Structure 1
Amino acid sequence: MAENKITYEDIKRYEFVLGKVPSLLLGTMIRRNSNLVGKFESTITKNLSSLNEVQQKQLDTVLNSDISDLQNVLRDAYEKSGKKQYKQLSEPKAAKFIENNLKELEKLIKK
């Protein structure tokens, strides 16, 4: 992680998660602006308590980043990995989806 910025190298280790979400399904979630944090709240809550210091710092960096900066990282990730899900998340129409889910995550953390 470069000085409070997320890079492709930071998210690369979590690519396996994208494999669990087919691009067609992700596209639908983006279009509907689905609240994924709410749908997976119990799993997220359970995993939040097991984050190590580096992961906590990365999460804090993501939550405090501009959506456009995050989407630039996702665009870079798509160019390097070819994973369509990165491309979908990097598109302008996904900005609101990302923003809303990050807000929901922030609320969950503050509980």
Structure 2
Amino acid sequence: MAEGQEDPETKANKDHKDGACFKTGPQRDLYRDTGLPNGTNPGEQCDEYPFASTLEGAGKASWDFSVKSVPAKDNRVAGGMLREYYVDDRMLAWDEGLDRPSETNDRFYMKID
């Protein structure tokens, strides 16, 4: 992937989240009448689950996702903690370009209660 270019999975996650949260972007029509929140209040951000950084993010057609308006500071702190977890515990991004990607990529899952 070229420097500064967003990978397709990340872009798809963002497009679906923005469609659901703000009724904007290329996926806005999918979420027009869904009853999902329309934007955020001042000092809040729209957050999605599963995390955008996962294979099961909002852009994956075979998975459901949810969005919620949350305090911006809490969202930033949680995002920083998640990034730190990925780095500290060596969680690697899925690399489709590897020979036999299903066998050669590191696999991990998280159970969140």
Q: TM-score, normalised by structure 1?
A: 0.28
Of structures 1 and 2, the larger Rg is shown by 2
Specify which structure has the higher proportion of strand. 2
Q: TM-score, normalised by structure 2?
A: 0.28
